[in-house]
């Protein structure tokens, strides 16, 4: 039975329509597309798949193969190597030699946002499918997403729910709410601070994303969340109920290494979303980088913005080891000095000790004792 969402309406049934093949079916069972040249019609490919790779050799071949085995074959596959120093370029070249749908791009390292914007500029199809170098597509993913977008012209972006796995492909249990299915549920998830759309599962209309400026460099490490919020102002967004992507979790991925930047950027992106809804200009629209949290009152032109951002971000950093070791610790201290005591804050003192940060543990304990 499909999960229920407030105001989902009959559209939820379309989003939750059963697949012809369950996710449990082995990916190898899907026959790879035979077309390796002249596969596109006169109008070019129907979908441009875009992937940026930086030192992704560990899982790259499996990710590429899962794309090439899609039951919907009319796509080009742009793979940009962002200056990798491992075997990623060789893996890309090997696959490109076997399947002409792959368009490899090699250049020096410029970062993910620059890579995604370059891939968007070079894509030739009206629909763009995102894919990461460490995840696995279900064979029916592109067919299901394209069919939905063809039938629902008011939707500009569509993700899918995911099966979370670890570095060995085993289940990775998560306690987060499921991704919202319909646009109404998507808007509710924004207000609740819940997951919106898994970036490597996304398929969106290229011209729509280009029309709002693509990915913004200021929101490095949370460029996708900022994109979804800006798209939500101009189009409808949702997710298919089926888990059509196996999303991999491991200690060295970006979301683990940059928790402070991700959570702070997401909070500022939400502020910008609220400004637009209130018919006020986006104060960071032209900035090359996000301002420091302490400068937000000045940037947004009113008091209390920085304090509000700390109130959102600090509780989300208490269990993030990298954040407790980087500038996230200072943000937590400032939040406590604001007179706030997030749930579990004393346990964070013990956590710092376990992380080998006794001086920070003492500072936090003293701050809690004095405030």
pLDDT for 254:
65
pLDDT for 247:
96
pLDDT for 41:
64
pLDDT for 346:
95
> How far apart (Å, rounded) are the C-alpha atoms in residues 169 and 2?
26
Write out the chain's pLDDT in tens, 371 residues.
Answer: 333 233 334 344 444 443 333 333 333 333 344 334 456 666 899 999 999 999 999 999 999 999 999 999 999 999 999 999 999 999 999 999 999 999 999 999 999 999 999 999 999 999 999 999 999 999 999 999 999 999 999 999 999 999 999 999 999 988 789 999 999 999 999 999 999 999 999 999 999 999 999 999 999 999 999 999 999 999 999 999 999 999 999 877 666 678 999 999 999 999 999 999 999 999 999 999 999 999 999 999 999 999 999 999 999 999 999 999 999 999 999 999 999 999 999 999 999 999 999 999 999 999 999 98
Tell me the pLDDT tens digit for each residue of 148-181. 999 999 999 999 999 999 999 999 988 789 999 9
What domains are defined for the chain?
11-256 (3.90.550.10), 258-370 (no CATH)
Tell me the pLDDT tens digit for each residue of 236-251. 999 999 999 999 998 7
C-alpha dist (Å) from residue 235 to 9, 156, 157, 158, 274? 18, 6, 8, 11, 16
Output phi, psi for 31, to 5 deg.
-70, 135
DSSP string, 28-80: GGSPPP---SS-SBTTB-SEEEEEEESS-HHHHHHHHHHHHT-S---EEEEEE
Task: Specify the residue for token string 């763009």.
Answer: 128
pLDDT for 175:
79
pTM of the model: 0.88
Q: Encoding tokens for residue 271?
A: 């502020």
Tell me the pLDDT tens digit for each residue of 179-213. 999 999 999 999 999 999 999 999 999 999 999 99
C-alpha dist (Å) from residue 223 to 7, 269, 293, 315? 28, 9, 18, 22
pLDDT for 257:
79
pLDDT for 43:
81
C-alpha dist (Å) from residue 233 to 126, 204, 222, 241? 20, 15, 18, 23
pLDDT for 253:
63
């Amino acid at each position: 039975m499909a999960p229920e969402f407030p105001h989902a309406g009959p559209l939820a049934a379309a989003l939750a329509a059963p697949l012809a093949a369950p996710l449990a079916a082995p990916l190898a069972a899907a026959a790879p597309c035979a077309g390796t040249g002249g596969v596109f019609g006169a109008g070019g490919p129907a979908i441009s798949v875009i992937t940026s790779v930086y030192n992704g050799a560990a899982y790259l071949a499996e990710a590429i193969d899962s794309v090439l085995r899609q039951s919907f074959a009319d796509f080009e596959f742009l793979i940009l190597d962002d200056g990798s120093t491992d075997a990623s370029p060789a893996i890309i070249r090997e696959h490109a030699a076997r399947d002409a749908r792959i368009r490899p791009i090699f250049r020096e390292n410029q970062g993910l946002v620059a890579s995604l914007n370059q891939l968007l500029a070079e894509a030739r199809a009206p629909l763009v499918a995102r894919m990461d170098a460490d995840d696995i597509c279900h064979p029916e993913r592109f067919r299901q997403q394209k069919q939905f977008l063809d039938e629902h012209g008011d939707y500009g972006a569509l993700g899918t729910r995911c099966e979370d796995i670890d570095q060995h492909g085993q289940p990775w249990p998560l306690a987060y709410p499921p991704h919202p299915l319909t646009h109404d549920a998507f808007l509710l998830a924004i207000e609740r601070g819940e997951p919106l759309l898994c970036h490597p599962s996304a398929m969106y209309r290229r011209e729509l994303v280009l029309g709002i400026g693509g990915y913004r460099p200021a929101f490095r490490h949370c460029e996708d969340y900022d994109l979804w919020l800006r798209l939500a102002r101009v189009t409808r967004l949702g997710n298919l109920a089926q888990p059509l992507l196996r999303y991999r979790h491991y200690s060295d991925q970006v979301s683990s290494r940059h928790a402070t930047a991700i959570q702070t950027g997401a909070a500022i992106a939400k502020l910008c979303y609220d400004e637009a809804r209130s018919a006020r200009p986006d104060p960071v629209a032209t900035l090359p980088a996000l301002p420091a949290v302490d400068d937000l009152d000045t940037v947004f032109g009113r008091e209390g913005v920085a304090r509000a951002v700390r109130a959102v971000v600090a509780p989300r950093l208490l269990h993030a080891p990298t954040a407790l070791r980087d500038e996230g610790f200072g943000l937590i201290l400032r939040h406590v000095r604001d007179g706030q005591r997030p749930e579990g804050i004393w346990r964070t003192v013990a956590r710092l000790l376990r992380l080998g940060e006794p001086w920070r543990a003492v500072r936090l304990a003293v701050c809690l004792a004095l405030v």
